[in-house]
Amino acid sequence: MKFYTSDLHLDHSNMLGYDNRPWETVEDMNEGIIARINSRVAPDDELYILGDFTLRTKRTRIEEMRNWIVCKHVHLVAGNHDYFARSPWAKDLFETVSNYREICDNGKKIVLCHYPIMWWNGMAKGSYHLYGHIHTRPNMAHPHRRAFNVGIDANDYYPRTLDELIHLRDWLEAEKGRRKKYGKHNKAD
């Protein structure tokens, strides 16, 4: 199974306040994020991290953090904070390292990039676009129905499958329609 996430910002203490993350210390944040990833992703699954794994640049620390993830097949689509991704050794820690990637997931074409793209390859033919970078909630930031923010801050700190993202988007749109039709609270409440 394929899972997607981004913007872990492991060891980045400023993220506690910047994104109002629910942990007291950076160590608690690292542990909480990795625990949520490992609760969903099995060793033989594939995990795509769409950038901002960490600000760290020392191989030993990055390798240590990568090894916290039980999944063997971790792909990195580098983000603006992944300075280490340009190092030749980054490919030793991740199955693949790229700045942009196109893959298939259950017959669906997906364009992966750290940044949201307004018009992506195959968009008019039904492809999907997964991105991070913007740290927003809820998962309705992009105006196109087949573009999804996979950032952990927008997904309760869990990686998601493409089917989960589609289902969540449909549910959020239905909820938005219900609120528009009935007001903030259902009249039957």
- CA nearest neighbour of 69 among 8, 132, 135: 8
Which uninterrupted H or E stretch holds 52? none
Q: Running along the chain, 189 residues long, what does each successive block of 10 average in pLDDT?
A: 97 87 95 98 98 95 98 98 96 97 97 96 96 74 84 94 91 74 59
pLDDT for residue 171:
80
The residue range of the domain holding 6 is: 2-161
pLDDT for residue 23:
95
The structure tokens listed for 2 are 């394929």
Question: Is residue 129 assigned to a domain?
Answer: yes
Question: Is residue 67 assigned to a domain?
Answer: yes
pLDDT for residue 83:
96
- CA nearest neighbour of 137 among 124, 149, 120, 125: 149
Question: Is residue 182 assigned to a domain?
Answer: no
Number of domain units in the chain: 1
What whole-number distance in Å separates Cα of residue 161 and Cα of residue 20? 25
pLDDT for residue 173:
75
pLDDT for residue 74:
98
Question: Is residue 178 assigned to a domain?
Answer: no
Question: Is residue 110 assigned to a domain?
Answer: yes
The domain spanning residue 33 has which CATH number? Answer: 3.60.21.10
Q: Are 49 and 82 in contact (CB under 8 A)?
A: no
Question: Is residue 48 assigned to a domain?
Answer: yes
- Collapsing DSSP to helix, strand or coil, 12 comes out as coil
Question: Is residue 166 assigned to a domain?
Answer: no
- To the question of pTM greater than 0.85 for the whole model, the response is yes
Question: Is residue 59 assigned to a domain?
Answer: yes
The structure tokens listed for 45 are 């699954």
The structure tokens listed for 175 are 């909820």
Dihedral in degrees, nearest 10, Cα atoms 105, 157, 45, 87: 90
